Copies of this chain bind each other. A is one copy, B any other.
Amino acid sequence: MIYLFTGNGKGKTTAAIGTSLRALGNGEKVLFVMFMKDKTITSETKVLEKLENITIKSFGRRGFYLPKEELEKNPDLKKYGVRPIEEIDVKLAYEGLSFIKGNIKNYDLIVLDEICVAIHFGLVKKEDLINLLKEYPDKDFILTGRNCPQDLIDTADLVTEMKEVKHPYQKGIKAKKGLDY
């Protein structure tokens, strides 16, 4: 089964975490791979890493990054610490895919958190992901991230669009540790 959580609203990564817990409760083994994120900054990692039968890996650097051309179109974003995607980011993302291939036999459910963003930003070629998914039809996969390409929606068995209806930042309220990261 391939589950895909996409859309611009909150709840994609947390739904992947919740589903991972459900799989653990059913006696399964889970590999949770974060793309474009450094796991040391997320609150949930501290709890997940204490659990048995789940491996958490992150293949990304801290901070927020955009394709160079996007950043050149919006140079103001640099003030907020947004940086251009570099070769190292692509390398890290592909290390993530290699790690999955090399270890997949030990797991039942594999989560690829923010993989849709990694594809959207050109870090990972969508064909490489789709080939990986098709190579292991007996495994369960959860993919997350906004801006999911249609090919991936076509490949997935279940797709939920997390649609933002209302968000506190619309009222100028910032992200809250423990709820948002």
Which residues of A pack against B, CB within 8 Å?
1, 3, 5, 7, 9-19, 21-28, 42-48, 51, 108-109, 140, 153, 156-168, 171, 173, 176-181
Contacts and interface: CB of A to CB of B under 8 A. Distances in A.
A6 to B, nearest CB: 8
A43 B26 contact: yes
**Interface of A (DSSP majority class):** mixed
Given A10-B158, A47-B51, A160-B163, 13 more contacts: A7-B160, A9-B162, A12-B15, A13-B18, A14-B14, A17-B22, A22-B42, A24-B47, A25-B48, A26-B43, A26-B177, A158-B166, A159-B167
Q: With a 10 A CB-CB cut-off, give which of A9, A22, A42 has the most chain B CB atoms.
A: A22
B178 A167 contact: no
